[in-house]
Structure 1
Amino acid sequence: MPQLNPAPWLLIFLTTWLIFLTLIPTKIMKFTFPSHPTPKSKQATKTTPFNWPWH
């Protein structure tokens, strides 16, 4: 049964993962974002607790 022979497929599997782990993360990390998110105000928001009707 040729599908049980791991010789050709093991090399393809290892080569694919080698590409995934070396080339692709370096390409992804080169992307820069146009702006970093910043909060609109430095003041902390004050919240009021909600009274649950069944509590």
Structure 2
Amino acid sequence: MSRKDNCLDNAPMESFFGHMKDELDYKYPQIFESLELNIKDYKYNRYQWTLKNG
């Protein structure tokens, strides 16, 4: 995680993911689609543990 109000901390990662998306999207579209589907599935469809107070 970057520090607040310091956009230069995120620059290398933003650059890396931007290049990765470009290359996967154009060279290997099926890999990009599979990766995108797996990320969405992980974010929205996995079991969410809840903490109970009391």
Q: Whose helix proportion is higher, 1 or 2? A: 2
TM-score by length of 2: 0.39
The structure whose Rg is larger is: 1
TM-score by length of 1: 0.38
Structure with bigger RCO (C-alpha 8 Å, 6+ apart): 2
